[in-house]
Amino acid sequence: MTIGSLEDIATSDGVENIVNKSFYGFRVDGQSGKLYLDRLDGDTPVSLPATNPTTEVGIKNDSYQQWFWSKSLVSLYWGDNATNFKNRLLMKVL
């Protein structure tokens, strides 16, 4: 898996690191506060936020806050009361 952030996207996520992988991106709707996860693969373009902190102003709608690429299918789900991970986002690589 390749993990990206605003700080390291320019240096670590070259084309050779993401070819033939699916993109998973977390974005927040700044007005409603809802969290969205997008899974993109194939020829779907990915638009990442600018890496220059002077151009970023808070959380914008449709701006990815965190993202990663993976060859494996990823399942994300919320932990429940029956586990030690109550109210935490869990990720399972299939």
Q: Which domain holds residue 43?
A: 2-93
Averaged pLDDT score across all residues of the chain: 75
What digits encode the pLDDT tens for the residues 70-81?
999 999 888 888
Structure-model confidence comparison of residues 6 and 14, the more confident one: 14
5 pLDDT higher than 80:
no
What digits encode the pLDDT tens for the residues 10-41?
445 566 677 788 899 998 887 888 888 899 88
89 pLDDT higher than 80:
yes
* Cβ proximity of 27 and 64 under 8 Å: yes
Q: How many folded domains does the chain comprise? A: 1
User: b/e string for 24-62 if b means 16 or more Cβ within 10 A?
Assistant: bbebbeeeeeeeeeeeeeeeeeeeebeeeeeeeeeeeee
